A and B are shown apart, each in its own frame.
Chain A
Amino acid sequence: MISTTSLRLAALSTVTLAFAATGGSAFAQKKYDTGVTDTEIKIGNIIPYSGPASAYGIIGKIEEAYFKMINDQGGINGRKINFITYDDAYSPPKAVEQARKLVESDEVLFVFGPLGTPSNTAIQKYMNAKKIPQLFVATGATKFGDYKAFPWTMGWQPAYQSEGRIFAKYALTEKPNGKIGVLYQNDDLGKDLLKGLKDGLGDKASMIIAEESYEVSEPTIENHLVKLKATGADILVSISTPKFAAQAIKKVGELGWKPMFFQSNVGSSVASVMRPAGLENSQGVLSLAYAKDASDAQWDTDDGMKKYLDFVAKYAPTANRADSSAIYGYGQAQTVVQVLKQAGDNLTRENIMKQAASLKDFAPDTMLPGVKINTSATDFYPIEQLRMMRFTGEKWDVFGPPIDSNLGG
């Protein structure tokens, strides 16, 4: 008996060693965790389809459509994706309930793209305690790239702080003696981006001479801009979502104020911000971007964009193709498909995280030229590159090389 056991042990350790030697690429044997079979991979998702943030529901719909396209093309390594998406109405308690439902009742392999800082914070501890990947969360809060404390959580879009830092660099070189006035939305977006801006300015944080915050419930934010102009600031940083971004750009134009105007990425859509604000007011506004804007005519002939447009026409004909959330969902879904391709037949939760942390120069169709996704075991911020752009005529002109904020190591 003893000899058989030890023989078995020896055999087992040899196999383990052999596995260890082959590394992460090719696996002779299939390894599955809960949620995977030879024909299916179950992926969970939580998106606000109802409630105050229901405008983001389109992300979930586009992702569902994208996986349908992948399944129609034969799936990934012969496995179809079973995408289970639930509504949390942007309420943290509901998000916890849905996350637990996905993990304990539907038994998904991992949860992909849950949306919103509050909802993700609410489920983060649970996901990490259960050792289930909380992959590519749909929020730019910087705290979701903390690979040490939360090794099962990874972001996707550029962290809001990256944006602040990059613009700080730009301001320091272009206008080192400028006086900065900041308008920000009083939530995690506003505060995080502002922190990045201050960190980026470093010793010269005193360049910021005024900060004005607004609540999303305010009908108009014009009075804040009048105040900011009165402070004599010559650089205006507007950290705002589309409706308020348009109001700000328009008001600055009406006031005849000509500051160096920086608009945060979330409020830079041509269709929902720049045109409503008035093209004459929008000239010269600066912003940062990582993805292409489908309402911007310059990308109509772009190969990646053509693929995206074909996809929307065929799989999501009712969606607004110019919606930046649709582009977002497409890019995010494409990234997770890349992770699954890399994982091959080793579909364990551990390997999913390992592959998600081994993306090298991956460029989804909808990214700006030159922007690439890179991750490592010590870098849980997938998209870190942004490009400066200036609004000219009827479109954004991208200038300068992709800039890296180096948040992750």
Chain B
Amino acid sequence: MSTVQEVVTEAPVIEDAIPKKAMALGPVASLVILALLIATPLFVKNFIIFQMTMWLIYAIAVLALNILTGASGQFSLGQSAFYALGAYTSAILMEHGDINYVLTLPVAGLICFIAGFLFGLPALRLSGIYLALATFALATAMPQLLKLGVFEHWTGGVQGLVVTKPDAPAILASLGLKVSQDMWLYYFTLAVSILIYIFSVNLLRSRSGRAMMAIRDNEIAASAMGVDVSLYKTLAFGVSAGITGVAGGLGAIAVQFVAPDGYTIQLAVALFLGMVVGGVGWLPGSLAGAAFIVFVPNIAESVSKGLSGAVFGVILILIIFLVPHGARQIAYGAQGLIGKLRRN
């Protein structure tokens, strides 16, 4: 608890320059980014579109963690478990239940919401690093649970489950548009991401969001003001898990495969990294954070194959050292600079 407080409240001077509410981007910046996200796939190879899809999917998962840590001040190293749960829910429904992939996502979200909410109850007793450890246990346990013989008929056990990739709806083809599977999936993911982003921004601006942030800033003060601390803490867990589950479901559809080895503690750590790099508590930073975890390992690998981990570490240390508040700091800095230029 206290560590998060430090991270969040110790925000730099620049924070005074912008309205306190700003957990989102301004309308102009949002539209520019949206336009770029819509237009880019029209000009690049399918492989890049696939990478961009994965980028958006991880951005959703990072955003979910951001709601939990950035808004309600709770740590989680167990997001990979909810991601896995969502992925398996979608995969099992599609392959065993023959259910349309679109419909599997709300189910995945709902199941993960319930799982997250339930996990949030015992987690109430823990805070700070102890909560981080409890969620860590969840992340390490998940791959083994998925291997259990009892569920093997459904999960495919250690062999995993292959998922069929959806085609673009026939209606697009009849309109004369040629949309590849990758491109369709990208735009579908983009639509889901936008929905989730709008939902999250509104959630944080609502009464519930303010209650969560009040708990983050000072739990005792919040409860004195009449905020139901335990309800909002577990709710934050539930919402975060639910969104992560949707990301997991999308991930399963994009990768066309789920297996226990895809959802190890490494994924949880990567999502955590993404949140820190993007800026804790700043929702648009999720995009930057996800870009970091998708693309930087590739850059590190191209620098040195044997030392890719070390190169990755060096890049990470540089970022933490130079811009400790991540993408948020850069964005605010740029905003300040533009403001100054205007005034001159």
Question: Which A residues fall within an 8 A CB radius of B?
Answer: 49-52, 57, 61, 85-87, 89-93, 96-97, 100-101, 103-105, 116-118, 121-122, 124-126, 141, 143, 186-188, 191, 215, 217
Task: Report the bound CA distance from A117 to B262 in whole Å.
Answer: 12
Contact B301 A86 (CB under 8 A): yes
The distance from the CB of B59 to the nearest CB of chain A, in whole angstroms, is 15
Q: Which listed residue (B147, B162, B261) contacts A91, Cβ 8 A?
A: B261
- Contact A104:B262 (CB < 8 A) given known A92-B160, A122-B256, A188-B158: no
B50 within 8 A of A: yes
B264 within 8 A of A: yes
What residues of A have a CB within 8 angstroms of the CB of B157 in the complex?
A: 191
Contacts A91-B267, A104-B47, A118-B160 known; list 18 others, CB within 8 Å: A51-B266, A85-B305, A87-B297, A87-B301, A87-B305, A91-B264, A92-B257, A97-B54, A100-B47, A104-B45, A105-B47, A121-B160, A122-B256, A122-B262, A186-B158, A187-B158, A188-B159, A217-B140
Task: Report the bound CA distance from A186 to B146 in whole Å.
Answer: 12
The distance from the CB of A98 to the nearest CB of chain B, in whole angstroms, is 9
Task: Report the bound CA distance from A117 to B157 in whole Å.
Answer: 12
The distance from the CB of B267 to the nearest CB of chain A, in whole angstroms, is 8
- Contact A118:B261 (CB < 8 A) given known A105-B45, A187-B158: yes
- Contact A90:B301 (CB < 8 A) given known A100-B50, A121-B162: no
Task: Report the bound CA distance from A91 to B297 in whole Å.
Answer: 13
Closest CB pairs A-B (n = 5): A104-B47, A122-B257, A118-B259, A92-B262, A118-B261
By CB atoms of chain B within 10 A, which of A93, A97, A143, A191 has the most? A93
Interface residues of B in 248-290 (CB under 8 A from A): 251, 255-262, 264, 266-267
- Contact A217:B147 (CB < 8 A) given known A91-B261, A96-B255, A121-B159: no
Contact A93 B305 (CB under 8 A): no
Contact A93 B255 (CB under 8 A): yes
Q: Offer 24 A-B interface pairs, CB within 8 angstroms, sorted by A.
A: A51-B266, A87-B301, A87-B305, A89-B297, A91-B262, A91-B267, A93-B54, A93-B262, A96-B50, A97-B51, A100-B46, A101-B47, A103-B47, A104-B45, A105-B45, A121-B160, A121-B162, A122-B160, A122-B257, A125-B257, A143-B159, A186-B158, A187-B158, A217-B144
What residues of B have a CB within 8 angstroms of the CB of A121 in the complex?
A: 159-160, 162, 257, 259
What residues of A have a CB within 8 angstroms of the CB of B5 in the complex?
A: none
Question: Which B residues fall within an 8 A CB radius of A?
Answer: 45-48, 50-51, 54, 140, 144, 147, 157-160, 162, 251, 255-262, 264, 266-267, 297, 301, 305-306, 308-309
What residues of A have a CB within 8 angstroms of the CB of B54 in the complex?
A: 93, 97
Task: Report the bound CA distance from A105 to B309 in whole Å.
Answer: 23
What residues of A have a CB within 8 angstroms of the CB of B260 in the complex?
A: 118
Dominant SS among interface residues on chain B: helix
How many A-B contacts are there with CB distance less than 8 Å? 93
Q: Which listed residue (B45, B140, B259) contacts A122, Cβ 8 A?
A: B259
The distance from the CB of A13 to the nearest CB of chain B, in whole angstroms, is 33
Contact B261 A93 (CB under 8 A): no
Contact A186 B147 (CB under 8 A): yes
What residues of A have a CB within 8 angstroms of the CB of B259 in the complex?
A: 92, 118, 121-122
Dominant SS among interface residues on chain A: helix
What residues of A have a CB within 8 angstroms of the CB of B45 in the complex?
A: 104-105
Task: Report the bound CA distance from A121 to B301 in whole Å.
Answer: 23
The distance from the CB of A51 to the nearest CB of chain B, in whole angstroms, is 7
The distance from the CB of A143 to the nearest CB of chain B, in whole angstroms, is 8
The distance from the CB of B324 to the nearest CB of chain A, in whole angstroms, is 26
The distance from the CB of B187 to the nearest CB of chain A, in whole angstroms, is 18
Contact B257 A104 (CB under 8 A): no
Contact A191 B266 (CB under 8 A): no
What residues of A have a CB within 8 angstroms of the CB of B46 in the complex?
A: 100, 104
The distance from the CB of A392 to the nearest CB of chain B, in whole angstroms, is 35
Q: Closest residue of chain B to A189, judged by CB?
A: B158
Task: Report the bound CA distance from A49 to B304 in whole Å.
Answer: 11
Q: Closest residue of chain B to A126, judged by CB?
A: B256
The distance from the CB of B37 to the nearest CB of chain A, in whole angstroms, is 19
What residues of A have a CB within 8 angstroms of the CB of B309 in the complex?
A: 50
Contact A97 B50 (CB under 8 A): yes
Task: Report the bound CA distance from A157 to B238 in whole Å.
Answer: 46
Q: Closest residue of chain B to A190, judged by CB?
A: B158
What residues of A have a CB within 8 angstroms of the CB of B262 in the complex?
A: 91-93, 118, 122
Q: Closest residue of chain B to A89, judged by CB?
A: B266
What residues of B have a CB within 8 angstroms of the CB of A122 in the complex?
A: 160, 255-257, 259, 262
Q: Closest residue of chain B to A129, judged by CB?
A: B165
Contact B162 A49 (CB under 8 A): no
What residues of B have a CB within 8 angstroms of the CB of A87 in the complex?
A: 297, 301, 305, 308
Q: Closest residue of chain A to B140, judged by CB?
A: A217
Q: Closest residue of chain A to B304, judged by CB?
A: A49
Task: Report the bound CA distance from A125 to B181 in whole Å.
Answer: 14
Task: Report the bound CA distance from A86 to B47 in whole Å.
Answer: 15
The distance from the CB of B309 to the nearest CB of chain A, in whole angstroms, is 5
By CB atoms of chain B within 10 A, which of A50, A51, A57, A89 has the most? A50
Q: Which listed residue (B144, B162, B251, B301) contacts A125, Cβ 8 A?
A: B162
Contact A125 B256 (CB under 8 A): yes
Contact B305 A92 (CB under 8 A): no
The distance from the CB of A405 to the nearest CB of chain B, in whole angstroms, is 20
Contact A92 B147 (CB under 8 A): no
Task: Report the bound CA distance from A315 to B191 in whole Å.
Answer: 51
The distance from the CB of B183 to the nearest CB of chain A, in whole angstroms, is 13
Task: Report the bound CA distance from A90 to B260 in whole Å.
Answer: 11
The distance from the CB of A193 to the nearest CB of chain B, in whole angstroms, is 12
Q: Closest residue of chain A to B161, judged by CB?
A: A121
The distance from the CB of B243 to the nearest CB of chain A, in whole angstroms, is 18
Contact B305 A49 (CB under 8 A): yes
- Contact A191:B158 (CB < 8 A) given known A90-B261, A96-B255, A100-B50: yes
Task: Report the bound CA distance from A126 to B159 in whole Å.
Answer: 17
By CB atoms of chain B within 10 A, which of A61, A105, A118, A143 has the most? A118
